[in-house]
Chain A
Amino acid sequence: MCQVEEDYHEPLQRADPLSVSKKCVKCKEGTAAVVIRAGDAFCRVCFKEYFIHKFRAMLGKNRVIFPGEKVLLAVSGGASSCSMLRQVQEGLSQNAHKKLRFSPGIVFIDEGGAVGQAVEDRRRAAAELQAVFTATGLPFVTVPLEEVLDLPSSVLAAASLVASGTGAYKAAVGDFVRSGAAGCRTSLDPERRAPADVQESRTRSLQQLIGSAKTLTAREDLLSTLRQHLLVHTARSEGYSKVMLGDNCTRLAIKLLTSISLGRGAQLAQDTGFSDSRYGDILLVRPMRDYSAKEIAYYNRLFGVPSVFIPGLETKATDKSSIQRLTESFVTKLQADFPSTVSTIYRTSEKLQTACRSSSTADLCDRCLLCMCALDTAAENASAFKATLISEQLSQAQAAGDTSVVTPAPKEHESAAAIGKRCTSGAEDCGNAASGEGCCSSAKGAESSDLRSLLCYSCQLTIRDMSSVERLPHYILSEAQRRQRRSQMREEIGEFLLDAAD
């Protein structure tokens, strides 16, 4: 009754009492070891086959990983990403049926600094994971999150999209086979395997940055943005073209609902789809998106996949402390009553796409500064965004120089940025006594409202929750200034430009 496509053809059955000697429903020979869905009992062998098949089918159906390509595996130490590591490792082994043909490397981002972990705990967790990585035989690097403070602003430059159709995949396969299928061993900088302890001052800067976001929701959002930037930068600097993330179906269903609640409807396909092409030259893929958290947990236990638990920002947080945490408890509770919830949400996410307003080689100015997705803040008539701007305007005293209150000011979405600009010039008395931004008194208010014009709807909300934007890493602030200068330039010469290309 909770699903549109639900069919009621089967008569109601009496639930079979669970018996220990049940047979596997697939091979009908072995004794059942796991029950995946109600009524589907699998034996160990069939379960392993089913699990591996799903991974291969996911990669094979979306032909984006070319043979011989360098792929970076982002492992956080959690069950999903360690399971993904094991799948890749098994797929590469010599006796695998149809061996995987790409060259992987591993990256582990140590976020202990942002969460406030003690140095010994960080060292211990990193050492455990390093042991796991060494056992796989694949090259790996450990990157502390503090390195995000030193990133170059080229991270935020959208490199040109690598357009590739199905023809490109076949051509790549052909090339690989012809070159003798030489499996090139990638090498990552060996010094970065176990970096020396991070300086305390940098950890403190990072903590101050995260702490400048006042709500846990904004902190989570900021942390995941910084983590993604660091991942992309690591991939670029080490020469990798694809990054594999270990998000599973349950986590992606939660992410979908969270994204909707944060206002990221336009970017849903990129946030939760199989491949995420917002960075242009680096493609993020999610091969584990078909597995529910339950299946991964069973597999890890039955086949001894090691994983290391590292506490995050939301560990032991209460249900209502953040939107992410609230959505997680909502989905898991609903799943208990309606077992098809997660898979239905997953199917919904498969049917979405990114609304592309401008051309595919999007102008830099059309992309959000933080999340690098296309901007969705064109305040069209009769839209929710316009309605929020109108509400803001109607609830505050009008700035000096505005026309009568009955007719709205011609460009409302300029109101925040315009007020900011007028204040920095210092010439006019703003008259905005009770304005939420307090833009009269400090230049930093002007800065944050100026940043907003460069951000998409949900990143604006995150910045709004921050007490000061000065703590943002240097690369973000300098890129913001560069974009503003460029758009000012464009305004000056707008009438002389023949086409909109950047």
Chain B
Amino acid sequence: MPILCSNCIDKRAVLKRPKTGHSLCKECFFWAFEEEVHMTIESAKLFKPGEIVGIAASGGKDSTVLAHVMKLLNERYNYNLELMLLSVDEGISGYRDDSLETVKRNQQQYELPLKIVSYEELYGWTMDAIVKQVGLKNNCTFCGVFRRQALDRGAIMLKVDKICTGHNADDVAETVLMNVLRGDIARLRRCTAISTASEGDGVVPRCKPLKYAYEKEIVLYAYFKKLDYFSTECIYSPNAYRGYARTFLKDLESVRPSSIMNIVHSGENLSVREGVKMPVQGTCNQCGYISSQSLCKSCVLLEGLNRGLPKLGIGKHHRLHDKILSKEPLTEREQRKLKSVDF
């Protein structure tokens, strides 16, 4: 006796939803998935009609599905948004150039304008060159910090009003766990917000329409819709600390599938005691980007790379920020500490 879809009770069920465990047919699953994203967008009021929205596209499953669903919902519900694709080239040979091909294919399929910004043109360094200097342990820090700024710069070049990224529920849950493990109370408070604050120039507000979608459901959607995407792990990522949080989350999901939403729910309901010191938002003295210190993180990291002191920026060094700003040379002892170690 074939199992019937629990929604239409008409067609045969072809999949089981990881999120709720119900058995659904293809069409009902598509409809449920799209409907959920639509309700997330509506209830959080993510977009205003007439806005220009940049979709951060990496060629991976999240951004491919995001581009597809955004285009679909834009037409179905008349959001009146002008959509564009924005992509970042970190310069990782063998990984990024392949996924960028996928983005170019997406551009043709969905007929959306595309802009690619690269680390090479923005900072003068590719990730390959950075890893040669830094090693395999702290390189994710560089990539993440640079990418955020690259997205913002690209968005300003494209003149978009908002950026939307493909972060899914698993990503948000991982981030909550990672921030608890690292003791980062400031980020813990902010990381479950669905969109960033929109103050200041040089900053484009960012939102996550797929925040409540499970990663497995995104893959199911892409599989059944026959969407084409590039799916390989970044070659430099195996030693990242986030990997621990990710393995733990995967294990949690296998014990109890609702764990992912439970963690997101916990993160949203956390409250921090008064009197705990929080960073204050200001601007970088060198490049004008938003920063909570006198120098923004990417300026510090770049300075370190350019001077051959790759550990500048990993760990707390804000005492040296003034020195860097005034372009004083660092002492012998400071230089020795900041040089790279054997990896």
Residues of A within 8 A of B (CB): 1-9, 11-12, 215, 217, 256-257, 259-266, 268-269, 319-323, 326-327, 330, 334, 341, 344-345, 347-348, 351-355, 376, 381-388, 390-392, 394-397, 408, 433-434, 436, 457-458, 461
Closest Cβ neighbor of B259 among chain A residues: A261
Q: Would B241 and A1 count as touching, CB distance under 8 A? A: yes
Question: Contact between A330 and B183 (Cβ–Cβ < 8 Å)?
Answer: no
B179 to chain A, nearest CB (A): 8
Interfacial residues, chain B to chain A (CB-CB below 8 A) = 4, 6-9, 17, 19-22, 24, 28, 31-32, 35-36, 39-40, 43-44, 137-138, 176-177, 180-185, 188, 194, 212, 241, 244, 248, 251-252, 254-256, 258-259, 261-274, 276, 311, 314-317, 336-337, 341
Partner of B256, one of A217, A347, A355: A217
Q: What are the residues of chain B within 8 A of A390 when measuring CB–CB?
A: 35-36, 39
Q: Are A395 and B262 in contact (CB under 8 A)?
A: no
Output the least CB separation between B314 and chain A (Å). Answer: 6
A347 to B182, CA, bound (A): 10
Q: Are B265 and A382 in contact (CB under 8 A)?
A: no
Among residues of A, the one whose C-beta sits closest to the C-beta of B21 is A436
- Starting from the known contacts A352-B272, A395-B24, 18 additional A-B residue pairs (CB-CB under 8 Å) come to A5-B183, A8-B311, A260-B177, A261-B263, A265-B266, A266-B270, A320-B255, A323-B252, A330-B244, A355-B271, A383-B268, A385-B265, A388-B258, A395-B6, A397-B9, A434-B4, A434-B9, A457-B265
Instruction: Kindly state the separation between the CA atoms of A397 and B19 in the bound complex, as whole angstroms.
Output: 17
State how many angstroms separate the Cβ of A352 from the closest Cβ of chain B: 6
Q: Which residues of B contact A265 (CB under 8 A)?
A: 265-270
B182 touches A381 (CB 8 A): no
Among the interface residues B8, B32, B183, which one has the most CB atoms of the partner chain A within 10 A? B183
Minimum CB–CB distance from B218 to chain A (whole Å) comes to 14
Nearest-neighbour CB distance to chain B for A469, whole angstroms, equals 19
Beta-carbon contact of B6 and A397 below 8 Å = yes
Question: Given the complex, which residues of B lie within 8 Å of A6, measured CB to CB?
Answer: 315-316
Residue of A nearest to B141 (CB): A1
Q: B188 contacts which chain A residues (CB < 8 A)?
A: 348
Q: How far is the CA of A320 from the CA of B188 in the complex (A)?
A: 27
* Cβ contact within 8 Å between B268 and A348: no
A384 contact from B212, B256, B272, B311, Cβ within 8 A = B212
A-B pair count, CB < 8 Å, reads 188
When C-beta atoms are compared, the residue in chain A nearest to B137 turns out to be A1
Task: Write out the residue numbers on chain A whose beta carbons fall within 8 Å of the beta carbon of B19.
Answer: 388, 391
B177, A257: Cβ atoms closer than 8 Å:
yes
CA gap between A334 and B254 in the complex, in Å: 20
Q: Contact: A384 with B315, CB < 8 Å? A: no
Q: Could you list some 16 contacts between A and B, CB below 8 A?
A: A1-B137, A1-B314, A7-B316, A260-B177, A261-B259, A263-B266, A269-B273, A334-B244, A353-B271, A353-B272, A382-B43, A382-B44, A385-B265, A395-B24, A395-B28, A397-B7
A394/B7 in contact, CB under 8 A: yes
Listed residue (A263, A353, A354, A392) with the most chain B CB atoms within 10 angstroms of its CB: A263
Contact A433 B183 (CB under 8 A): no
The residue that A217 contacts in the complex, of B44, B176, B255, with Cβ under 8 A, is B255
A345 contacts which of B137, B183, B244, B261 (Cβ < 8 Å)? B183
In the assembled complex, the Cα of A382 lies from the Cα of B32 at a distance in Å of: 17
Closest Cβ of chain A: how far from B24's Cβ, in Å? 6
Contact of A323 among B28, B177, B183, B256 (CB under 8 A): B256
A461 to B183, alpha carbons, bound, how many Å? 28
Chain B residues, CB < 8 A from A5:
183, 316
Residues of chain B with a CB closer than 8 A to A386's CB: 43
Contact of B256 with A376 in the complex, beta carbons under 8 Å: no
Q: Which residue in chain A gives the minimum CB-CB distance to B270? A: A265
